[in-house]
Each structure stands twice: as structure tokens, then as C-alpha cells.
Amino acid sequence: MKVRIIGVLVLSAAAVALTAEQQPGSPPSARKERVNQSGTPGVLRPLRRTPPTTFTTDTDGITLPDDGTAIDPNTGARYRRGELLVQFHEGASASARVQALQAGRASRVPRTLVKDWELVALDPRADLAQAMETFRGLESVRDVSLNYLVTAQQFRPNDENYSLQWNFPLINLPSAWQINRGGSDDVVVAVIDSGLNTVNDTLVFVGPLVGQVPAVFSTVPDLVTAGRIVSPFDFVYDDDIPVDLDGHGTHVAGTIAQLTNNNVGVAGVAFNVKLMPLKALSSDWDSILAPGNPGGSMAVVAEAIRYAADNNAKIINLSLGGEGSAPVVREAIQYAVGKGAFVAIAAGNAGDDGNPTEYPAAYGGEINGAMTVGAVNRALQRAEYSGFHSYVEICAPGGELTSIFDYNNGVTQVGYDVDEVLDFVPPIVKLAAVRAGFRPRFDRFELRPMQGTSMATPHISGVAALLYSQGIRSPLAIEEAIKKFARPLGLRADECGAGLVDARRALRGLGLSR
Amino acid sequence: MRAPHLRHLVMAVVVGVVGVAGTTAAYGQTPAAPPPSPEPIGPRLGVQGLGFVGLDFPRAEQSVEALGLDKRQLEAGGGVRVTNLWRALFVDVHASRWSTSGERAFVDSTGEAFPLGIPLDIDATHVDVSVGWRFYPRNRRTIRTAVPYVAGGAGVVRYREESPFAEPGDDVRTSSTTYHVALGFDYPLNRWLAIATDARYRFAPDIVGDDGVSSVFEEDDLGGFQLSVGVRFGFGGAAPATPPPPAAPDEPARRPDFINPAPPPVDAQIGTVTTDAPIYLLPDRTRVPLRVLESGTSVRVLDQIEGWYRVEFRDPQFGTRTGYVEIKFVRR
């Protein structure tokens, strides 16, 4: 791969010249064609930079120690062998209790229980069912039961790399999952972004810069499954295959709805909801393969918002923005809210670069039912890039990387394998690479730590989806609930709005006095 | 006390006064009747127990509705009353408890409630200490005459609110001072047992309103009306100053004129005992009285002899009897 990249770099000069050949103002000819509809599923490569420790040794003759438990065949519950919980009648005398223990061949375990209950120990090999019958037959004994085991009830997903997701405990998500485990599948979340692969296919892009370029796509592992995708649409290529040529939309969708508790990858906030991927953003690869495409324009974004609302999306994620005002997008957001959709909007990533007013972020503060989301880092400080304006209404973890693969400080989700899509090289190098025969692969994935208000925003969309699933089915109410139960961080209101979203408190709602 | 509370207190007092006025009018035809003198034949100190069931109507109606709680809380309770501390003054302690279940909710700024399907259990235990006044009716023909009362006082409410998925500090267990006004009446069934009815309005200003759904609706009072009916039992009130005599050999029931009582004289008139008065077999106040007629008891005046009336009265033990009562105790 390195050899290939070096070769591409060498060709970059030539690429500049070739690029200059493009006639300005030539009509866009973005199109793609499906050529292999029986492609293979995507591959999620192991985590980078922090490879799991491999350790092999001879285990012959070694067994794990007996944990002293057994499974009750009647209930399937695990209990401690050789122990029973016995309740004596209130008036049972001490001597009667001693006699009972003798009859049951048990001894008292000194534990301070309640209401005449005692923990008693028997021979670990004793037949507890028979012992229970013996105890039940005694006049001094009121009740007897097995000493069942319990485990911590907080839901902790078993996804292989869940431990990287510091961002979820930060918003109290594991506790929230106790109340609502991943939302319901009748809630549709629209992700208006760079797309999301919904097919296993090879698509041929035809454009003036590079001619015909086949590219391999596959559904995103751990995210796109049968029946999960609703009304997908590509507003850049005007078809219903909203493939992601960037990885941004994939990452955002993952934070919202990555499949969870399946031993694979990482988790998502609302992992049961349905996704409506709507491609409205153009990436470097889109610009190379289909130059002049309409992606990223406010018109396309507005169209996508309207489409989402018309197709029954109840949550719309807008991890996008720009410095030009767009009344049409504002109207579209109002339209969507009017149709019952909650809209989450990224505050913008130029907080450390002049902090300009960004749109549609600025509209979030004006529209009830739409929220503008700022980003905090792992230390719960405003991420330096996060725009700070009066329209920032809430904040969520957006990460703040110290290096490209800084899993400890980025928001980790599935993205493309950076080597396969030349993620960190300039567009012109990508173009030169294609002309030199490089073919990007959009079927190779890896876990990617990212940062940005784009990463913070899907946390809010996910929580909104949980709230919707729980019964708060009004955009205004969702916004107010998220704000009301936010955790104040001591940051300025223009940095973090009402505070850091607290999923558990929002889902638990209100009682009469608290 | 915050302004809404003051307004409601005034309203409740007005309601109470009007209610008492109406009650007085119903049971006493002459206003401002003097209470019976406590000695030697007036009401005696008494202790009464009370058991009741009732309905509580919490004032925080919107909050209650939003959380799917019952608007009327069925409750049970009991109490103790010490009567006739001074004239008709009494003190009582009245405890009641209600509990209800609903589900947590979120209420947006428009007032729309969104139930969240998370169970919510609430209970409130009220203990009220009241000072009140009983209005003994003047024209009491029988022991089965209602005795109204008004009362007011303060108390305490212990409040609990719990839901699943709570973390430390989420659930509520607190107590607070309450205030109340009450009116009601007791309807005696016999000397020891009475049906007790009570209506009270309670202010519980410090439990709700700062957070929760109640803060959204700006409902800051957990109090409200409480209506209850129960049984009051024990001793006291207008107890006899002297014990009734044992069945006397000269029991009028054995006399032919009682067995077949002659019709009363044409000029016989109804009189009313103005204060508890002993009645004798003969016009002689040194004798053991047959009975003490309670204030308000109606008697039929049969004759008049030197400061005494010979009257016919209803003895709760022996039925219609005749005896002598001093004229000063009877108003005709």
C-alpha cells in the first residue's frame, strides 16, 4: 500500500495539469451504475494502534476453579451450592432454631438479615431440594429458599471495543439503556450527510475527470442489516443508493444506531431504530468521480430535509453547516418540525478559527423542536473547534483528538479503512492516484476516532430517538426534555447551552415533586 | 405564606363560616345560644376515638392528571378527640394516609403531558392537630341529634415518591408542615357511638412546586379537600352528672298509668330543658335523680307544683316516664 501511495504522490504534478484540462462550467455528469449486485459484505478490520494482546500457552490439564454455583433447573437462575436461606417463625425460640439447623444438617452463617431470615450452610454436595423439604417440614421454619445469585443490572454492551466509547458513559447512556434499551424499531432517524452504504455492489462512476471508475461498496458492518434502512436516497446522484464516499455519514449514523451487544465493533445510542440515509454532502471522492455534483448545496440539504419529513422520519440529524445563510433550509427545518420531526444541528467547527456564524446551526436556536449542538471533549471542556454562539443549545461529546488514531479522545465509530480510500491525502493526490490506476474501496472498514460537532450531534439525535421511543413524540417536548435534564458543566451558555445532555435523566422524566 | 395560599385560606374560612352558619341554623332555632354550663350538670371532659375512610382531592389537579394519578385518593385514618376542655372546646388529632400510583411523564411548555411508562408510587400521611368547637343543639329531642363542629389547626405530612431507575437523590421522602380548617358533625347512635363526618381543607405548601411536573404547572400545594365518614366512639360530651339510678321498686313502668298512660291534660305543653337538668321521682332535690335530662331535651309538661314541673319524658332505658324537674331548667 505504501508503495502505491508513493507512486500516487509522484504523479501528483501530472495530475495538476490534467485537472486544468477540465472546462469550467461544464454541466455536471454525475452518475453511477450498479454492475455487480452480488457483492460481498464489508470487512471491519481490527482496531488500529491498539492491537489486542495475543497470548497463547498450553492449557492442557488446567481447569478454572469451581465458582461454587449451580443452575436451578426450574428457573434457570444460578445459586450458591451448599447454602439456603431459612426464615423462622417470629416466635421460634433459640433452641427451636438450633434444633432445626441440626435437623437440616446445616450451620448458621453469621449474616445480619431481616425478619428472622438466616443464611445457613450445608455440605456443598448436599441435595438442596431435599434439605429444603426437610426445613419446610419443621414447625419452627416459615420459609426456605435457594441463595440465588444476582449480577449488576446496568447494561454494558458486549461489543468488542465498547471500552473505547468513553463518550457514552459521559452522557449517562448505560443507565439510560436500563430505562430504554436502544429505542424502538418504529422510530426512523434520517441522517442527512455524505451517505451510508446500503448495498454490496460495484458501482461505476462516469465523470469527465477520470472517465469510468468502478468502485466496490458494501453494506457497513455492524450497522446496515436487512430491514434496517428506510427510504434511502441520494440527492447528489439522484438515485436511491446513497453510498458514502467519505465515511463521515457512516460514522455519524454509527453513533446514532450502531448495532449493539453483538460482540462486534462498538455500540450506538439508539441501536434499535431504523435509519434513513440521505446523501446530501459531496466528498473529495464525489468531486473527483463526479465533478460539479450538487452535493453540499443548501438546496440539496433543504430538499433532503423535506424528503425526510415527508417520509416519516421523526429525528433528523444535520451534522453539517456552512457560513452562508440559507432561509430555504430554515424553512425546511420548520417544515420538518411542523411534521413532527426533531432536528439536531451541528454548531460548527470553526470555534478556533474566527468563530463565524454558521448555518443552519444559527436556525436551531430560533426553532422550537430543532437544537444546535456544541461539542465537549473528554475533560468536559468545550472542544476548541466547537463554535460558541448564543444559538448553541446543548452540548455532547465531540472528542478532541491529539493524533489521528487517538481512540482515547475521539468519538469512535466505524469508518473506512484509511488506506483504502486515501483518507489523509489531498484531493489532487486522490485524482492523480485514480489516473494512475488506484481504485478506492468502500468495502473496507475500521474503527475511526473522529472529532467535531458532527460527532456530537448524533448523540443528541440518538437520545432524541430514545425519548421518542419512550413516548415523547413532539419535537418541542424532546428539545425541552433534553434541555431540562442537561447536566450543567459550568461552561458559558454560548459554549454549551443548557449543559451536557443526560440521557438517563431525560428518559426518566418527571414525578410529582421531582 | 405565599399569596395563593392566603387566598385559598380566606376562601376556605369563608366556606367554613358559611357552612357552620347553615348548620347552626338547621339545628338551633335561636342564634347565639349560650353553651351549657360545665358544672355541676354541664358537659364533662370526654375522650373519643375515631376511625374513618374518606376521599382526598389533591389540589395539584393538573399534575395529578399528567401523571395518571387518581384525582380522588381513597384514604383511611383515625384519630383521638378530647372534648369539652372548656365548654364545647375540643382538641383532636386526626391521621390519614393515601397512596396512589401512576407513571412518570414529561410535560412541555405548552402543558402537553407525555407519559413515559415508568411507574410512579406516591403516598402521603397526614397528621392534623385541631382545636375546635362543638355546637350542641338546643332543641335536642333525642340523643340522635347531630352535633356540628368547626375546627382548625396545623399538622405534618410525610410524603414519599418513588420510581424505578432511581439514583441517589432521585426519590423523595420528606415531611412538611400543613394547615387546615375543618367542619363536620357527629350523629350519635347511642351514648358511646356516633357516625362522624368531616370535611376539611388542607394546605401543604412545601412539598410540591419546586420541581417535577408540579413545577411545570406551577402547582405548589399538595393539600386540598378531604371528605371522610367514620365512627366515633368513647365517652364524653354531655355526659350525665350523676349515674342513672338502678331499676327502682317505684319504677313508673309498673304503674297502671304508665302501662296505659292517660292522655295528657289538654293544656299540656312542650317544654325544652335549657341546660342539663336532674329529674326526680318526687319534687325533692335531695333524692337521687331518676335521670339527668340533657340540654335541649323536649319534655311534655303535665303539671306545675311550687317551682317544679311534673313532666313526661323519654327515658332511653325505660321509655316514657314522668318525673319532676325544677321550673328554672325548662323553657316553655
Q: Band of the pLDDT at B140, cuts 50, 70, 90?
A: low
Closest to B104 in 3D by CA, of B224, B213, B252, B10? B213
Q: Residue B112 and residue A509: Cβ atoms within 8 Å?
A: no
Mutate which: A179, A474, A512, A514, vs B, most B CBs within 10 A: A512
Instruction: State the pLDDT at residue B29.
Output: 28
In this model, does residue B46 exceed pLDDT 90?
no
Q: A509 contacts in B (CB within 8 Å)?
A: 104-106, 114, 116, 118
> What does the pLDDT look like over B263-307, one tens digit per residue?
444 445 888 898 889 998 888 888 888 888 888 888 888 888 788
Q: Residue A508 and residue B104: Cβ atoms within 8 Å?
A: yes
Instruction: State the pLDDT at residue B141.
Output: 60
From A33's Cα to the closest Cα of chain B, the distance in A is: 47
Q: Residue A509 and residue B116: Cβ atoms within 8 Å?
A: yes
Burial of A322 (0-12, 13-18, 19+ CB in 10 A): middle
From A333's Cα to the closest Cα of chain B, the distance in A is: 20
Q: A468 contacts in B (CB within 8 Å)?
A: none
Instruction: State the pLDDT at residue B4.
Output: 46
Instruction: State the pLDDT at residue B15.
Output: 38
Does residue A39 sit within a domain? Answer: no
B105 at interface of A, judged by CB pairs closer than 8 A: yes
- Quickly tell me which residue has 460539479 as its cell: A292
* CA A158 – CA A175 distance, rounded (Å): 15
- Quickly tell me which residue has 454562539 as its cell: A389
Partners of B231 in beta bridges: B51, B195
Instruction: State the pLDDT at residue A5.
Output: 44
From A365's Cα to the closest Cα of chain B, the distance in A is: 16
Does residue A43 sit within a domain? Answer: no
Counting residues of chain B whose pLDDT is more than 70, the rounded percentage is 75
B211 to chain A: nearest residue by CA?
Answer: A514
From A334's Cα to the closest Cα of chain B, the distance in A is: 18
Answer yes or no: pTM beyond 0.80: no
Instruction: State the pLDDT at residue A476.
Output: 98
Give the CB-side neighbour count of residue B101, counting CA atoms within 13 A.
5
Instruction: State the pLDDT at residue B303.
Output: 81
Q: Residue A472 and residue B106: Cβ atoms within 8 Å?
A: yes
- Quickly tell me which residue has 454525475 as its cell: A30
Query: Who among B60, B106, B171 is closest to A510 (CB)?
Result: B106
Does residue A367 sit within a domain? Answer: yes
B112 at interface of A, judged by CB pairs closer than 8 A: yes
- Quickly tell me which residue has 393538573 as its cell: B62
Q: Which range marks the domain in which residue A401 is found? A: 151-510
Q: Which of A122-136, A324-338, B133-147, B152-166 has the least mean pLDDT?
A: B133-147
In this model, does residue B104 exceed pLDDT 90?
yes
Query: Who among A473, A476, A514 is closest to B212 (CB)?
Result: A514
Q: Domains in chain B, start-ordered, CATH in brackets?
A: 46-235 (2.40.160.20), 265-331 (2.30.30.40)
In this model, does residue B184 exceed pLDDT 80?
yes
Instruction: State the pLDDT at residue B16.
Output: 40
Of A81-90, A374-383, B141-150, B226-235, highest mean pLDDT: A374-383
Q: What ipTM does the predicted assembly reach?
A: 0.77
Instruction: State the pLDDT at residue A179.
Output: 96
A369 to chain B: nearest residue by CA?
Answer: B108
Strand locations in chain B, DSSP E?
44-58, 73-83, 89-107, 113-134, 147-162, 172-188, 193-203, 224-237, 269-273, 277-279, 291-293, 298-305, 308-315, 319-326, 330-331
In this model, does residue B18 exceed pLDDT 50?
no
Does residue A262 sit within a domain? Answer: yes
Does residue A69 sit within a domain? Answer: no
- Quickly tell me which residue has 420541581 as its cell: B211
Q: Residue A510 and residue B163: Cβ atoms within 8 Å?
A: no
Instruction: State the pLDDT at residue B284.
Output: 86
Instruction: State the pLDDT at residue A124.
Output: 85
Does residue A325 sit within a domain? Answer: yes
Cβ–Cβ pairs < 8 A, chains A and B: 92
B118 at interface of A, judged by CB pairs closer than 8 A: yes
From A153's Cα to the closest Cα of chain B, the distance in A is: 10
Q: B210 contacts in A (CB within 8 Å)?
A: 513
Q: A477 contacts in B (CB within 8 Å)?
A: 106, 108, 112, 114
Cα four-point dihedral sign A361, A365, A371, A375: positive
CB-based contact A457:A167 (threshold 8 Å): no
* CA A376 – CA A134 distance, rounded (Å): 62
Q: B219 contacts in A (CB within 8 Å)?
A: none
Q: Residue A508 and residue B216: Cβ atoms within 8 Å?
A: no
pLDDT tens, chain A, 514 aa long: 444 444 434 334 333 333 333 333 333 457 788 887 777 878 877 776 543 334 445 666 666 667 788 888 877 777 888 999 999 998 888 899 999 999 999 998 888 788 789 899 999 888 899 999 999 999 999 999 999 877 555 788 999 999 999 999 999 999 999 999 999 999 999 999 999 999 999 999 998 999 999 999 999 999 999 999 999 999 999 999 999 999 999 999 999 999 999 999 999 999 999 999 999 999 999 999 999 999 999 999 999 999 999 999 999 999 999 999 999 999 999 999 999 999 999 999 999 999 999 999 999 999 999 999 999 999 999 999 999 999 999 999 999 999 989 999 999 999 999 999 999 889 999 999 999 999 999 999 999 999 999 999 999 999 999 999 999 999 999 999 999 999 999 999 999 999 999 999 999 999 999 9
Query: Who among A470, A510, A513 is closest to B117 (CB)?
Result: A470
B122 to chain A: nearest residue by CA?
Answer: A512
Instruction: State the pLDDT at residue A60.
Output: 66
Q: B212 contacts in A (CB within 8 Å)?
A: 510-514
Does residue A185 sit within a domain? Answer: yes
Counting residues of chain B whose pLDDT is more than 90, the rounded percentage is 48
Does residue A79 sit within a domain? Answer: no
- Angle (CA) A178 A182 A186, round 5°: 130
Where residue A312 sits, what CATH number does that domain have? Answer: 3.40.50.200
Q: Which of A82-91, B231-240, B311-320 has the least mean pLDDT?
A: B231-240
From B105's Cα to the closest Cα of chain A, the distance in A is: 5
Split into its structural domains, chain A has a count of 1
B71 at interface of A, judged by CB pairs closer than 8 A: no
A481 to chain B: nearest residue by CA?
Answer: B106
Q: B222 contacts in A (CB within 8 Å)?
A: 513
* CA A218 – CA A41 distance, rounded (Å): 5
From A463's Cα to the closest Cα of chain B, the distance in A is: 14
A368 to chain B: nearest residue by CA?
Answer: B109
- Quickly tell me which residue has 434520517 as its cell: A190
Distance of CA B308 to the CA centre of its chain: 36
